[in-house]
Structure 1
Amino acid sequence: MRGHLARGVGARARGLAAASAAALILLAGCSATATPEASAPAGLPAGVTVQLVQLRSDVAARQAQVEVHNGTDHDLTIGAVAVRDPRFAAPAGRVLERESLVRAGGTVDIRVQLPAMDCGVSDSGAGSVRVDYTAGAGDVRAEVPIDDPLDFLGPLHERECRAEAVTDAAALSLASFTPSPAGEAADLVLEVKPTGRGAVRIVGIQTTNLLTFAAGPGSTADTFPLGVAVTATDAAPLEVHVPLLPLRCDPHAVQEDKRGTIFTVEVELDGADGQIELAASEDMRGAILTWVADWCGFG
């Protein structure tokens, strides 16, 4: 009898153990299914649209803005944002880590910092944006395509990758600025430092919306000729002096300036013509704007 009892207890114990194991497997399966990371990102609510734009005020800082329009009847709170594009070396994230409230029917621009460009890919591609948002009581992660309606990414990728290629032959920088009295040209110095690894021809520098140049041989209304040829055998740095003048003297042009100290430089690389951009440093930008105001008599 004790043997039958022992066998009965053992059978019940084995049955309970099997049932417990099955329950644990079932719970584990439910837990894995419920984990947010295991599910694909959702889409945005119907009526919510996004697009990537770059305003003039974003250019110098290499930033852009994710424009979120909330066409629903409910408010949205936007958290983390990450813009992905095959031309980016990394995702573009928010400049400030914060949340943004987008009211029903409203539009909010979320500023993102553009990453370095991947110059090993084509200058065309389709981007997407991952958005963490809260609608009602739920937190949602969505990933959707994002448009570039102003078509700024393609030219930016081309320009910056050309600048990277130019840097293989020579490093270009705006080295110094010396202001001048009214009626005379200031001195802007472009420094060229050959690397000894390649060749490039620096053809000219273009006027900006705020600045132009004193006339010189070969000058046009828009371009001051530089004519600097760098070869793989060059080593000594070269300074090119550019005679700078204000293009306009209306005060609001200085007060509202966004791109007045970003210069377009014409180059020839591997037999192909192109352009790169050189921006004045913040200190130099301030000095140039102060000079324009003084030169024009409203400083």
Structure 2
Amino acid sequence: MRDRRAGLAALVLSALLSACGNADGDTGGDTDADPAKTPATTGIPTLTVSPLPEEPPTGRLIAEMRQSSRDAAAGRMEVWIDNDTLESVTPARITYYDDRFRTPLQGERLREIPAQSTRGFQFPLPPRPACGTTNDAPVSLDDPRGSVRVEYAGRTETLLVADETDVAGRYTRARCLELAIAKVARLSWSDEVTPGDPEAVAPGTEAVLTLVVRTSGRPGPELRIDTVSGTPVLSPVGTDAWRPDASITGDAPGTRIRLPLKPTRCDAHAFAESGGATAFKIGLRLDGEPGQITLRMSPAGAANAIAFARASCGMLEAVGSQG
């Protein structure tokens, strides 16, 4: 809303400035005209540009869902609240309600929202959402599934939360799939990324990433691991994606799937934006139904993987700069 007002003001100002160029009539006449008939000075009109009237605020609080890659890695989502009023608002409590979660979620980092400003509030995502067919329902932007109750200054307001990228829905569907997979096997990444010692890695060296499969010990549906995708920093060797083509059942022995690994690219920009550098997407089928999960490395494994990539890129001196 405020951006539209600024754009309109710029458009009007541009039109007024264009009009100034022709304020004295046609300036493209004969340059050899009699100087006696030409005024000694040319008057320059003075234009007063009145500011456009400000569109009045709606007097409402407006909520929308967002999630950055860092939020996703930290297991949280954010609700941003636009205070489109003339007074500051300082929430004492913000509670998120959604039938895809078993209980309401409490907002964190509560702080003042100045008038005509927006602030984001974090909500940790629950490890066990309410799994079921309700999570497969299509998202309607006109009928949001979630809402927040904002308590401030003795007042309580309930706001529908616009979720254009389906943050809550994507999380619950993925997490419910992970819980179903866990009945067959638990998947994780080994912390060791061979060769393990970055100081022994020569530029151009390849390594091995290991997917650890710990079966549940119970019979049940078959889990097939079809593909594993690389990341902006770490990639498979010689192909666009790993294709383990592994078939797993809960009553079979566990296994370790070795995936040849190399850096995706070696520019500093790739490492600077490596929030998803060690989060790998796994394409699979559970009991014949296709799905996809994102499997992240542990902090220790991620540090080893990034150290390997830097060393293989000849950037070992920068390892210590990674937080």
TM-score (norm 1): 0.76
Query: Would you say the 8 A contact 2:191–2:297 is kept in 1?
Result: no
- 1:120 matched to 2:132? The reply is yes
Q: 1:69 aligns with which of 82, 106, 109?
A: 82
Q: Contact 1:76–1:101 (CA<8 Å) still a contact in 2?
A: yes
Per-residue deviation at 1:239?
0.7
Structure 1 residue 105 corresponds to structure 2 residue 152: no
Which of 134, 138, 156 is residue 141 of structure 1 equivalent to? 156
Query: For the Cα contact (< 8 Å) 1:205–1:265, is it kept in 2?
Result: yes
> Distance in 2 between the 1:238 and 1:186 partners?
19
State the distance in 1 between where 2:272 and 2:226 align. 31
Equivalent residue number for residue 229 of structure 1: 247
**Larger strand proportion, structure 1 or 2?**
1
What is the DSSP-based 3-state SS (H/G/I as helix, E as strand, rest coil) of the residue aligned with 2:245?
strand
Q: 1:233 to 1:117 in 2, by over 3 A?
A: same
Residues 161-215 of structure 1: per-residue CA shift (max 9 Å, x gap):
1111111111111123324422122121111111123221111211112211112
Corresponding position: 1:191 with 2:212? yes
Instruction: Please state whether the residue corresponding to 2:305 is helix, strand or coil.
Output: helix
Kept in 1: contact 2:185–2:250 (CA 8 A):
no
Give 1:67 shift: 0.3
Aligned counterpart, 2:95? 82
Supply the distance in 1 between the matched residues of 2:61 and 2:114 (Cα, whole angstroms): 11
Q: Hey, what does 1:27 align to over in structure 2? A: none
Contact 1:168 1:197 in 2 (8 A): no
2:219 and 2:178 map into 1 onto residues whose CA distance is: 15
Distance 1:67 1:174 in 2: 34
* Structure 2 counterpart SS, 1:117: coil
Q: CA deviation at 1:71?
A: 1.4
Given that 2:263 and 2:309 are in contact with CA atoms closer than 8 Å, whether structure 1 keeps it comes out as yes
Residues 177 and 284 of structure 1 are in contact (CA less than 8 Å); yes or no, is this contact kept in structure 2? yes
CA distance in 1, matches of 2:77, 2:250: 37
**Matched letter for residue 213 of structure 1:** P
Shift in Å at residue 144 of structure 1?
Answer: 2.2
| SS of residue matched to 2:312 | helix
Q: Write the distance in 2 (CA, Å) between the matches of 1:153 and 1:191.
A: 28
3-state SS, counterpart of residue 183 of structure 1:
coil
| Counterpart contact for 1:83–1:130, Cα < 8 Å | yes
Report if aligned partners of 1:52, 1:147 keep a CA contact under 8 Å in 2.
Answer: yes
2:182 pairs with one of 164, 167, 171: 167
Residue correspondences, number: 243
| TM superposition shift of 1:281 | 0.8
Describe the SS at the equivalent of 2:302.
Answer: helix
Contact 1:251 1:293 in 2 (8 A): no
Aligned to 1:77, the other structure's residue is in SS state coil
Which of 247, 271, 274 matches 1:254? 271
Give unpaired runs (5+ residues) of structure 1. Answer: 1-44
Partner of residue 213, structure 1: 236
Q: TM-score, normalised by structure 2?
A: 0.71
CA distance in 2 between counterparts of 1:297 and 1:233 reads 45
State the shift of 1:232 in Å: 4.3
Preserved CA contact (<8 Å) 1:86 1:121: no
Any unmatched runs of 5+ in structure 2? 1-57, 138-143, 196-200, 319-323
For 1:61, give the aligned amino acid: A
Distance 1:197 1:143, change over 3 A: farther
